[in-house]
Amino acid sequence: MSTPATATSITRPQRAFRHVFLGTAIAHGALVVMQPFTAGMSLDFGRPALDWHGTTANLIVAVGFVQVIAAILALRPGRLSARTPILAIALFTAEICQLAAGYGAEFSILLPLGVGIVAGSLVLIVIAVREIRTRER
């Protein structure tokens, strides 16, 4: 009897690499989404909130690096598209710039780049979810 046409041909490890990447992207996105709130809270609560923002920023860069590795593994062997590691690398680079802009209090860079990082991180999650759903072969 022949195999049904809809049968999936991705292996368990490939699926695992995809989901590890998705998990990393969600964790990264959750940290990034907190940033505008803690930045805003610093207007009311001052230094403690800004310290929280700064600590989260360092965590974001660390998770952003893990996300790059996970995205590369989701590409090969995971067989997702090259869009995901490209966007993950772009985000990681932007986050390093944001860290420097933050500690340098460069407001003209901080606000637009921060918004871009938030948007890019959410787009990465959407792309990951869509590709995992549609690329079963």
How far apart are alpha carbons 13 and 65 in whole angstroms? 21
Under rule CB under 6 A, residue 88 binds ligand HEM: no
CB-nearer residue toward ligand HEM: 78 or 102:
102
Handedness of CA 7, 13, 14, 16 (dihedral sign): positive
Packing angle between helix 83-103 and helix 47-75, nearest 10 degrees?
160
Interface with ligand HEM in residues 23-62 (CB under 6 A)? 32, 35-36, 39, 50-51, 53-54, 57, 60-61
Binding mask 98-137 for ligand HEM (x = CB under 6 A): xx--xx-x----xx--xx-xx-------------------
Largest CA distance in the chain: 69
Q: CB of 100: closest distance to ligand HEM in angstroms?
A: 8
